[in-house]
Amino acid sequence: MAFEPSDDREERPSKSQRKREMLNLQALGEKIIALSDADRARLPLSDDMLFAVEETGRIRSHEGRRRHMQYVGKVMRGEDLEAIQATFDEIEQEKINRDQAFHRLEAWRDRLLEEGDDAVEAFIRDYPDVDRQALRQLIRNAKSERERGKPPTSARKLFRLIRDTAGL
């Protein structure tokens, strides 16, 4: 009698494939655990998954954590992975947008310190509600600190003023 492969064997994923999928679910669980409470609250997680995430913080032993992450991976099988990934993508996009906004504000700060009055007038045009006197004073102080090799205290205050004026 010759050996004939059955059809259901071809449809099942291999053991290696199942292990890769489980490791991916564990990695996703690690990402969920690493999120802040506010970001985690945005995810569509079941009560079981929320309990497993909370339980992770109480586990101290390395081996216990490893086993618990296997459990997290098992619980992840029942979660809506597409919705979780969509929320992760939203959170990541918000972080990128926030970082870009801060880079623009840092560029404004550098421009104000290097270009002088032309940059100040341009900033005032873009943000007419800015406290002009405080802006000019912080620019003078920051330039003075830079020339004397002092810590950038006024440059930080200038950045905070720019950030608050921009509403971020």
pTM (two decimals): 0.64
- CATH number for position 119: 1.10.60.30
**pLDDT tens for each residue of 3-46:** 555 555 567 888 888 888 888 888 888 888 888 888 888 989 88
Instruction: Tell me how far CA of residue 94 lies from CA of 7, 27, 44, in angstroms.
Output: 46, 22, 18
> Do 79 and 106 fall within a single domain?
no
**156 neighbors 139 (Cβ within 8 angstroms):** no
Say if 46 falls within a structural domain. yes
**pLDDT tens for each residue of 46-64:** 899 889 888 888 888 999 9
Q: What is the mean pLDDT of residues 122-146?
A: 89
Q: What is the mean pLDDT of residues 76-83?
A: 87
Quickly state the pLDDT bin for 152 (edges 50, 70, 90).
confident
Say if 157 falls within a structural domain. yes
Per cent of the chain over pLDDT 90 is 21
Predicted local confidence at residue 97, as pLDDT: 93
> Do 68 and 28 fall within a single domain?
yes
Last residue of a domain, one of 87, 104, 138: 87
Say if 73 falls within a structural domain. yes
C-alpha to C-alpha distance for 160 and 142, rounded to whole angstroms: 13
> Do 34 and 67 fall within a single domain?
yes
Question: How many domains does the chain divide into?
Answer: 2
User: Which of these, 97, 115, 117, lies nearest to 107 by C-alpha position?
Assistant: 115
Last residue of a domain, one of 57, 87, 117: 87
> Do 62 and 116 fall within a single domain?
no
Q: What is the mean pLDDT of residues 113-133?
A: 88
Look up the domain containing 53 and give its range: 14-87
Quickly state the pLDDT bin for 93 (edges 50, 70, 90).
very high
